[in-house]
Amino acid sequence: MRSADERRFEVLRAIVADFVATKEPIGSKTLVERHNLGVSSATVRNDMAVLEAEGYITQPHTSSGRIPTEKGYREFVDRLDDIKPLSAPERAAIQRFLEGGVDLDDVLRRAVKLLAQLTRQVAIVQYPTLTTSSVRHLEVVPLTPAKLLLVVITDTGRVDQRIVELGDTLDEFEVSRLRDLLGQALEGKPLAAASVAVSDLASQIQGDVRLANAVGRAATVLVETLVEHREERLVLGGTANLTRNTADFGGQLRQVLEALEEQVVVLRLLAAQQEAGKVTVRIGHETEAEEMACASVVSTAYGSGGKVFGGMGVVGPTRMDYPGTMANVAAVALYIGEVLGSR
């Protein structure tokens, strides 16, 4: 026989499911009709009274049914079983769509578009953070005899291009030597270590003033590229989805949109997500941001080979399909990491 706690949780779960689906407060009679709870309407009413007294549900209007509170949603999420995986066809469709991205920018744009469509919320993906990246390849492209294009490609797929004015001319052989020297100093190293290695490079060259000067100028530009940028970049998609559920935000939709635009709050929430495969749900005031008090954030990290590249997730109202949203966030994160890690 179920305990009273288990029975009440079944009632809470039914209220959450119905309210998410209908946006309407749920009464005891409706619960008994829609769900096989195995108890009478009187028992359900008693259970609802206990749930309300304990703060899991509330009555928005006199004589109306009940709706979940933040505490009720939290209990519901905490007692979910493992995230239900998507079907094989769903996973294959996500993988094919992301694999069609031609570069990092395209993959991330595709990811937010897909996640916004799947969840009907705002999707957010953080660009791979430089602190977790290593230099995969450095290319040196002569633009003129006295001007070079440096292309730094990280193992997270991030590409930075910088132009170097040499102040002198280099022939083809000298450009080749420069390419080899810079490549040996940088490739395969984490960005912090690569920055140190390239900054020490010019002092190691003896007897070739022109090459040493070119290495010094290139190193100055590269150090600026390799040092962690203070500003982070986000890709957002599906902002219009929030406007379809204006009533869910209790008159605070503008504050949520402003927080998304400014990005600071969202970056902080994503930065706290450091474990790929683990989905975190922050509901209402758990975001610790007043402008997001009426919203929920479902987030995870994406990466490959045990390395975290960045964070991602969705923002929506607290009245959210948490199981479905969590499953979609987890699946898209998995395939972003696989696609970027294989390039």
CB 31 within 8 A of CB 18: yes
pLDDT reported for residue 17 = 92
**Rounded percentage of the chain residues whose pLDDT exceeds 90:** 31
By CB neighbour count within 10 A (0-12 exposed, 13-18 middle, 19+ buried), where does 52 fall?
Answer: middle
Q: Does residue 44 surpass a pLDDT of 60?
A: yes
What lies within 8 Å, CB to CB, of 337 at 6+ separation is: 276, 302, 303, 304, 309
Q: Does residue 330 surpass a pLDDT of 70?
A: yes
Q: Take residue 200 and report the two structure tokens written for it.
A: 């020490």
Residue type, 323: P
| CATH fold of 4-78 | Arc Repressor Mutant, subunit A (1.10.10)
Whole-number average pLDDT of the chain: 86
Cα separation of 286 and 282, whole Å?
5
Q: Does residue 232 surpass a pLDDT of 80?
A: no
What confidence tens digit (pLDDT) does each residue in 122-144 have?
999 988 876 667 888 889 999 98
**Rounded percentage of the chain residues whose pLDDT exceeds 70:** 95
Residue type, 131: T
pLDDT reported for residue 339 = 87
What confidence tens digit (pLDDT) does each residue in 10-25 have?
999 999 999 999 999 9
What confidence tens digit (pLDDT) does each residue in 155-179 have?
877 788 889 898 888 888 888 988 9
pLDDT reported for residue 72 = 95
Q: Does residue 231 surpass a pLDDT of 60?
A: no
| 89 to 96, 114, 124, 247, 263: CA distances (angstroms) | 10, 15, 24, 35, 34
pLDDT band at 228 (very low <50, low <70, confident <90, very high): low
Per the document, the length of the chain is: 343
> Is domain 88-128+232-341 in CATH 3.30.450.40, yes or no?
yes
Q: Does residue 328 surpass a pLDDT of 50?
A: yes
Report the CATH number of the 131-226 domain. 3.30.390.10
Cα separation of 35 and 54, whole Å?
22
What confidence tens digit (pLDDT) does each residue in 53-91 have?
999 999 888 777 899 999 999 999 998 876 777 888 888
Q: What is the DSSP letter of 237?
A: E
pLDDT reported for residue 273 = 64
End-to-end C-alpha distance for the chain, whole angstroms: 54
Cα separation of 26 and 341, whole Å?
46
DSSP string covering 297-313, please? EEEEEEEETTEEEEEEE
pLDDT band at 341 (very low <50, low <70, confident <90, very high): confident
pLDDT reported for residue 265 = 83
pLDDT reported for residue 286 = 92
**For the chain, what are the domain ranges?**
4-78, 88-128+232-341, 131-226
pLDDT band at 318 (very low <50, low <70, confident <90, very high): very high
pLDDT band at 343 (very low <50, low <70, confident <90, very high): low
pLDDT reported for residue 52 = 93
What lies within 8 Å, CB to CB, of 90 at 6+ separation is: 331
Q: Does residue 148 surpass a pLDDT of 60?
A: yes
For the chain, what is the radius of gyration of the CA atoms? 26
What confidence tens digit (pLDDT) does each residue in 182-225 have?
988 888 888 778 888 888 887 787 777 888 888 888 888 888 77
Q: Does residue 1 surpass a pLDDT of 50?
A: no
In the chain, beta strands by DSSP E: 57-58, 67-68, 122-126, 135-144, 147-154, 159-165, 234-237, 280-283, 295-304, 307-317
DSSP string covering 92-146, please? HHHHHHHHT-SSHHHHHHHHHHHHHHHHSSEEEEEPPPGGG-BEEEEEEEEEETT
Single out the residue of 226, 338, 318 nearest to residue 20, CA to CA. 318
pLDDT reported for residue 131 = 66
Q: How many helices (H) and strands (E) does the chain have?
A: 13, 10
